Amino acid sequence: MHNKTITELAKDLREGKFSSVELTQSYLDRIKKHSELNCFITVAEDFAIESAKMADIKLANGDASPLTGIPIAQKDIFCTQGTKTSCGSKMLDNFISPYNATVVEKFNHSGAVMLGKLNMDEFAMGSSNETSFYGAVQNPWDTSTVPGGSSGGSASAVAAHLTAAATGTDTGGSIRQPAAFCGITGLKPTYGRVSRYGMIAFASSLDQAGPMTRSAEDAATLLQTMSGFDPKDSTSMNKPVPDYSMGLNNSLEGLKIGLPKEFFSEGLNDSVARVIETAVDEYRKMGAEIKEVSLPHMKLSIPVYYVIAPAECSANLSRFDGVRFGYRCDEPKDLNDLYIRSRGEAFGDEVKRRILMGTYALSAGYYDAYYIKAQKARRLISEDFKQAFSEVDVLMGPVSPSTAFGLGEKTGDPIEMYLADIYTIAVNLAGLPAISIPAGFVNEKPVGLQIISNYFTEPHLLNVAHKYQQTTNWHQQTPKGFE
């Protein structure tokens, strides 16, 4: 039963082929069996079985929603009342939130069953899940490689069928890149589409939550539950939520696809490029027109991101001081010692690096030179996309320049690690929606195709992704040993 999509599972639950308790237990057994992947920080066994029992009652009464009784798992960045929320950090190793994130509330309300909390890079800073306090996560396609990050636990768990679906968050690519590395579907919605309330903040102007699933159809189901205005999040958009599943099968005849030439320049692995070209050909066969476009300022996206994201994180993470939140050092001598040692002992190296960079960029005298300058360049990057979307409907390209790299391969060189996000970051800076879908393999490692569309056009984005999944079966492949 763990091989099925949410759509299939929902049908089987309704037909009584198995109960939600049975389904949940089978996932809990798989999580135990494959614990070496290290996908979960917390497995919420009792909570899951209790929720499944309640879901079975709803199913029996016929008042179930599409997610009722479906086991899912939450990235450990979402606050969950009563279950630990660590954000991958020693700082929050003992943190139990007194409230639920809006996303978690919405899933609970829909009757979905939460299996537990998924491993991630510390405070979502990373591209390989190796900055987690709880250790690295393995990629089920090749356990000597990383699953990507920061939503590495989510991607690995979905790929290895340890959960029917998962949530992720994407500040600079953290849904799309791990989805690509693990051969699953990952959608980063438009900024403001999904509430950030109760989602521990990294870089508030970039962070956005989204679904990580086995198909675009499942992503539509999850997004339906996650989306919507939230008065508790001042950046949430008060815009009606469309039906994400309705237009999935719309024809793509005449679809205008733009290929940004900057996505195909040096740096992109040749074999990955060929996989992307073959995927684009598939769209050509479906009646799409292909055109080259340009995003001339895309090359600025990494330097701009590494000013803005650290600046925002340095402000957001100042609350973890050993007093208001988080870990407190033993026997502090005085208040200053308490601050210094609590933060020094509980934050990992990457988080400290970001706080230092951000504090520097925001300090008097440097603010104009770095932060204001970066904001101006950010505007230029958004304008490039605006221009591109005046010519085409969607943009396509790779998610990452390579397939999953080896565990430990890039940990010694932060700049090398940062460069792996070259194709994803500009989308966050502009606040646009984008999806990664499985498009093939290079040396038996999955490759993701990235599709980017205009603001709040997720229904169209999902339609474009779903049609591809109707004519290809890359998304249905399962890593060996995880069938």
In the complex with ligand GLN, which residue's Cβ is closer, 283 or 423?
423
* Choice among 51, 89, 110, 150 that is catalytic: 150
Sequence-distant contacts of 276-282: CB under 8 A, at least 24 apart = 276/396, 276/397, 276/398, 276/439, 276/447, 276/449, 278/439, 278/440, 279/396, 279/439, 279/440, 279/449, 279/468, 279/472, 280/396, 282/468, 282/471, 282/472
**Least distance (Å) between residue 354 CB and ligand GLN:** 8
Neighbours of 414 (CB within 10 A): 15
Is residue 174 among the annotated active site residues?
Answer: yes
Helix spans in 169-233 (H) = 176-182, 216-226
User: How many Å apart are CA 370 and CA 362, to the nearest integer?
Assistant: 8
Is residue 234 among the annotated active site residues?
Answer: no
- The contacts of residue 268 (CB under 8 Å, 6+ apart) are 398, 401
**Least distance (Å) between residue 363 CB and ligand GLN:** 21
- Whether the CB-CB separation of 449 and 426 falls below 8 Å is answered with no
In the complex with ligand GLN, which residue's Cβ is closer, 42 or 174?
174
* Choice among 86, 127, 156, 174 that is catalytic: 174
Residue with tokens 């198909």: 215
Phi/psi at 331 (5° precision): 40, 60
DSSP percent split of the chain into helix, strand, coil, nearest 5:
40, 15, 40
In the complex with ligand GLN, which residue's Cβ is closer, 71 or 310?
310
**Closest C-alpha to 157, from 113, 120, 102:** 120
In the complex with ligand GLN, which residue's Cβ is closer, 231 or 267?
267
Is residue 75 among the annotated active site residues?
Answer: yes
Interface residue list for ligand GLN (CB under 6 A): 124-127, 150, 170-174, 202, 309, 421
User: How many Å apart are CA 476 and CA 481, to the nearest integer?
Assistant: 15
In the complex with ligand GLN, which residue's Cβ is closer, 31 or 120?
120
In the complex with ligand GLN, which residue's Cβ is closer, 31 or 124?
124
**Least distance (Å) between residue 63 CB and ligand GLN:** 37
**Least distance (Å) between residue 172 CB and ligand GLN:** 3
Question: How many residues comprise the chain?
Answer: 483
**Least distance (Å) between residue 177 CB and ligand GLN:** 7
**Least distance (Å) between residue 265 CB and ligand GLN:** 20
Peptide bond before 150: cis, by omega within 30 degrees of 0? yes
Catalytic sites, residue numbers: 75, 150, 174
